[in-house]
């Protein structure tokens, strides 16, 4: 009977044959190889696939989550990959039964996402020293763009005549229009006309040396500014999008409008992710009722 390693090679060959992307195949390979390495070390010998038990898989899950500290989402991806791997082996009659059917995905804990108040956004922007990064952060904060959408903007995507930003192929491959407020529009126009370096790329935001800007650079500057502003929250580029939506909701903008600005197909996503109610707001709400 074939070992795990032999079945792995056959499975990856099948993935290539059905035209899975190279990045997907590489992920499958790494995740399955990690499991095989764990099994080989546990038994000190290459194990035949038919001899792997549910207990082996559960021990590996424990190793990833509780020993190595992997996040629940990452562990669940491994579980999904192993499920496909064992399902393939069962279909090929290498094993009698897909043991992964007896392994549950880990339950995801609800995480309270940090968001910034309007004052905190202002403080953050004030403490960013690099002018271009400061402008990018302002753009994120006042449009709700994802960082990838922002940095992928081309010169032709920013229409100053209409006061609109055209997002081309945002998340899910969808295009959308996002309006600019007057203050942001004036700053972006000044940057384009007087500050943007002469580079060969058509990226709207560009550094002279590279003709582009990396997400890592923006997040690094945000982290530094967060410390300087003494904001005790975990702030990243995505926090600004989160804060944009939360502020609009608090100001009474209806949820379908906020969802459209963010590029969410379903406004219920806005309800579950971006609507925050403080205890004081809840108390004020019920105190409006008279008996």
Looking at the annotation, which residues are catalytic?
146, 171, 238, 241, 264, 274
What's the CA gap between 237 and 258, in Å, rounded? 18
**Angle between the 255-262 and 237-250 helix axes, to the nearest 10 degrees?**
160
Q: Distance (Å, rounded) from C-alpha 278 to C-alpha 274?
A: 13
Q: What is the rounded distance in angstroms from the CA atom of residue 63 to the CA atom of residue 247?
A: 41
Q: Which two tokens stand for residue 31?
A: 């995740």
Cα 91 to Cα 264: distance, rounded to the nearest angstrom: 38
The secondary structure element, H or E, covering residue 185 is helix 182-190
Q: How far lies 180's CA from each of 143, 145, 163, 201, 213, in Å?
A: 7, 11, 6, 23, 21
Measured on CA atoms in the order 82, 88, 94, 97, is the torsion positive or negative? positive
| Both structure tokens of 213 | 């800007």
Return the DSSP state at 107: P
């Amino acid at each position: 009977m074939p070992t795990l390693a032999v079945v792995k090679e056959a499975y990856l060959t099948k993935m290539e044959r059905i035209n899975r992307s190279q990045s997907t195949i590489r992920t499958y390979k790494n995740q399955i190889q990690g499991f095989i390495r764990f099994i080989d070390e546990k038994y000190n010998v290459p194990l035949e696939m038919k001899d792997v038990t549910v207990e082996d898989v559960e021990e590996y899950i424990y190793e990833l989550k509780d020993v190595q500290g992997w996040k629940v989402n990452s562990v669940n991806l491994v579980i999904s990959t192993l499920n496909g791997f064992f399902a393939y082996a069962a279909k090929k009659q290498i094993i009698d039964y897909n043991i992964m059917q007896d392994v549950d995905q880990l339950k995801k804990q609800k995480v309270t996402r940090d968001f910034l108040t309007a004052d905190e956004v202002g403080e953050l922007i004030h403490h960013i020293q690099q002018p271009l990064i400061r402008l990018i952060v302002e753009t994120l904060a006042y449009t709700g763009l994802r960082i990838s959408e922002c940095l992928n903007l081309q010169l032709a995507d920013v229409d100053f005549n209409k006061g609109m930003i055209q997002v081309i192929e945002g998340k899910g491959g969808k295009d959308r229009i996002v309006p600019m407020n007057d203050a942001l529009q004036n700053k972006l126009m000044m940057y384009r006309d007087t500050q943007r370096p002469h580079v060969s790329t058509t990226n709207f935001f560009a550094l002279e040396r590279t003709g582009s800007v990396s997400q890592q650079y923006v997040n690094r500057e945000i982290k530094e500014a967060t410390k300087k502003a003494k904001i005790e929250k975990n702030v990243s580029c995505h926090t600004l999008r989160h804060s944009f939506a939360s502020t609009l909701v608090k100001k009474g903008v209806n949820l379908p409008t906020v969802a459209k600005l963010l590029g969410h197909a379903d406004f219920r996503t806005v309800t579950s992710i971006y609507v925050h109610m403080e205890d004081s707001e809840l108390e004020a709400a019920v105190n409006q009722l008279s008996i």
